[in-house]
Structure formats: structure tokens, C-alpha cells
Structure 1
């Protein structure tokens, strides 16, 4: 079965990439491998700007709003894990709606590009479909730094979605 790795970070581009990966999986009887790399270094305002922030419950919104007001800096891992699970659950719901074969992987840690390339190799994914840009801004006009790094190092077909 054709394995398609789809890293999701809650950004608009990653959600678009998920739709395209789902279409590919449906057309070619593939299996989606949905992954998320912990958003370390992101502060509360970055997290509140995620496309999936509407999925956050009231207590999480309260904590993030307080952190934004106090300018507390990067969010703690406990919050990042909770948000990561929301992102994965949202992606799984979208994949389920497409009626395709998929698996959500445990939340990954480390540098995003390193984690994505490592899991692609370990699981022998034949394709990576990911957003051209994620949560972080990029100086590049076409790709974000993570997608650019992944595409240059991955040993499989890579599809960028903008």
C-alpha cells in the first residue's frame, strides 16, 4: 500500500495539504500517516493564530489569552502537547470524512524537519505532502524553512501545497 506522510501543524497550508493527501490516498488506495511535531518555541499568540484555534476549549483559550497579555514567551510543553493532540484529532476527523485509510502517529519532538525525515524513512513513506509554509514565517518566497529542508533531504516524492 502506498504510504503518504502528512505532517500537520494547524496552519492553513497544512490543512490544504491534508485535503490533497486525502484525495491522493482515495484515488490510489493509499494510507495516510498523519504526524505532528511539537511546536516548541512558539508563543501563545502564534498558537492562537493557528487555523485550528477554534477547536480549543475555553480553559485553553483562557490560558493562552493570559499568556499573550503577560508576554510570557514560548508556551510550555504541556500546552504544546494538548494543542498537538487537537491538531491530530482535527486531521483525523478530516481524513475520516474522506473515508480513507489513515493512522495518526504519536506526537513527534525535536527539530521539525529532522523528525519528519526520520519518520518518513522509518515508516518507508513513499510520498510526503506538506504545506509550503507552516506556523513560522519564512524569508523564502516559495517555501518555508521546514518544508525546504524536508524536501532537500527526504528520499521520497515530496509535494508542496500552498
Structure 2
């Protein structure tokens, strides 16, 4: 079975990528492998700006709003893990609605491009489908910096969604 790796970050671009990947999986009897890399270095304001932030429960929203008010800097891992779980749950529900086989991969931490490529090799995914501008905006390229690095280094088919 063809495995399609979908790195998701809660952005609208990763949501679009999931739809395209699900269409591919349905057409070619593939299986989606949904991955989240912790959003390290992101401040609470960045996290509240995620397209998926409406899925955050009240206590999490309150914690993030207090951190924004206090200008606390990068969010701690505990919060990032909670957000990662919410993101994966949301994308699992979307995959279910498309009626394709999928699996949620364990949340990983590290440099996003490195972690995505390591996972692609580990699970032997034949395709990576990812959003081209997620939570890290790059002014130097049409594509996001992570997707550009994936395109340059990956040894499999890559599809970028904007």
C-alpha cells in the first residue's frame, strides 16, 4: 500500500494538503500518515493565530491569552504537546470524513524539515503532501522555507499545496 506522509501544523495550507492527499489515497489505494512536529519557538500569539485555534478549549485559550498579555515568549512544551494533540485529532476527523485509511504518527520534536524527512524514510512513504506556507512565513520564496527544504532534500515525490 502506498503511504502518503502529511505533515500538519494547523494551518489552512495543511488542511488543503490533507484534502488533496485524501483524494490521492482514495484514487490509488493509499494510506495517509499524519505527522505533527512540535511548533517550537512559537509564542502564544502565533499559536492563537493558527487556523485551528478555534478548536482550543477555554482553559487553553485562557492560558495562551495570559501568556500574550505577559509577553512570555515561546510557549512551553506542555502547551505545544496539547496543541499538537488537538491538531492531530482535528486532522484525523477530516481524514475519517474522506473515508480513507490513515494513521496518526507520534508527535515529534526538532527541526521540521529534518523530522519530516526522517519520518518519510522510517515509514517508507512514497509521497509527501504538505502545505507551502504554514506557521513559519518566509518572504524569500514562493514556498515556505520548510517545504522548500523538503523539495530540495526528499528522495520521494513531493506535492506542495498553497
TM-score (normalised: structure 2): 0.98
Compute the displacement of 1:151 (Å).
1.1
Where does structure 1 differ by over 6 angstroms across 4 or more consecutive aligned residues? none
Q: Describe the SS at the equivalent of 2:51.
A: coil
**Which stretches in structure 1 are left out of the alignment for 5+ residues?**
none
Where in structure 2 are the equivalents of 1:148-159 lying within 5 Å?
A: 148-159=148-159
Q: Describe the SS at the equivalent of 1:92.
A: helix
Partner of 2:127: 127
Partner of 2:46: 46
Q: Which is further off, 134-143 or 99-108? A: 134-143
Compute the displacement of 1:98 (Å).
0.5
Where in structure 2 are the equivalents of 1:71-82 lying within 5 Å?
A: 71-82=71-82
Where in structure 2 are the equivalents of 1:1-162 lying within 5 Å?
A: 1-162=1-162
Q: Describe the SS at the equivalent of 2:136.
A: coil
**Which stretches in structure 2 are left out of the alignment for 5+ residues?**
none
Q: RMSD in angstroms over aligned alpha carbons?
A: 0.6
Q: Describe the SS at the equivalent of 1:140.
A: coil
Compute the displacement of 1:94 (Å).
0.1
Q: For residues 46 and 23 of structure 1, what CA distance do their matches in structure 2 show?
A: 30
TM-score (normalised: structure 1): 0.98
- The C-alpha deviation readout for 1:111-161, integer Å capped at 9, x for no partner, is 000000000011110000000111011023411111111111111000000
Q: Describe the SS at the equivalent of 1:65.
A: helix
Q: For residues 28 and 142 of structure 2, what CA distance do their matches in structure 1 show?
A: 28
Q: For residues 130 and 104 of structure 2, what CA distance do their matches in structure 1 show?
A: 15
